[in-house]
Amino acid sequence: LNPLERFIGSWISQGEVRRIHSKEELLDILEHTQIDGDPISKDELDIAVHAMTFGDKKITSIMTPKSVTKTVRAEDVLSPVMLAELHDSGFSRFPVLETEKGTVVGTLYSKDLAELRSSKFVKDLMRPDVFYVNEFTSLDNVLNAFLRTQHHMFMVVNEFEEVVGIVTIEDVIEQIIGRKIV
């Protein structure tokens, strides 16, 4: 028997499929399945385990805190110096803040800056849609919200509706695959 047949065969007894009764039981099977030469690689099994467990995590465990987030003001001028600063930050999305109150009024995307030929205000290039999510929301709910809204960044708020950070779709995907996306 080849390794895949051994694996499947271990869960079939006398023509009947053995039932798995809990997520923990399936995780235990996945974590103890790897045998040298198996057609299922360790990386594939790791992804399966991460995919089974990412929904148990909350945003607070993966979000980028507000103190680390690079923001821009709606009234900022997108000059060559500012463009260099944004590029050097390593981020691809930037929350846009209203100058007076400091509330988030939009999102500036790096890709929208690529065609910029002259200085403009951030407010002229930002996208006005802003989405919020509670810091204790599970990652599977956040993934569904990303897919539903087709937005790639949410502002994370606490129980007092204060922005405490951001979460991106890459943050969630990293939890599913168990690797950092650069």
In contact, 30 and 49? CB cutoff 8 Å: yes
Cα 15 vs. chain centroid, distance in angstroms? 42
In contact, 29 and 20? CB cutoff 8 Å: yes
pTM over 0.85: no
Maximal C-alpha separation, the chain? 73
Question: Along the 182 residues of the chain, how does pLDDT read in single tens digits?
Answer: 555 555 556 555 555 666 777 878 877 777 766 665 566 777 888 888 888 888 889 999 999 999 999 999 999 999 999 999 999 998 999 999 997 777 999 999 999 998 888 889 999 999 999 999 999 999 999 999 999 999 999 999 999 999 999 999 999 999 988 888 87
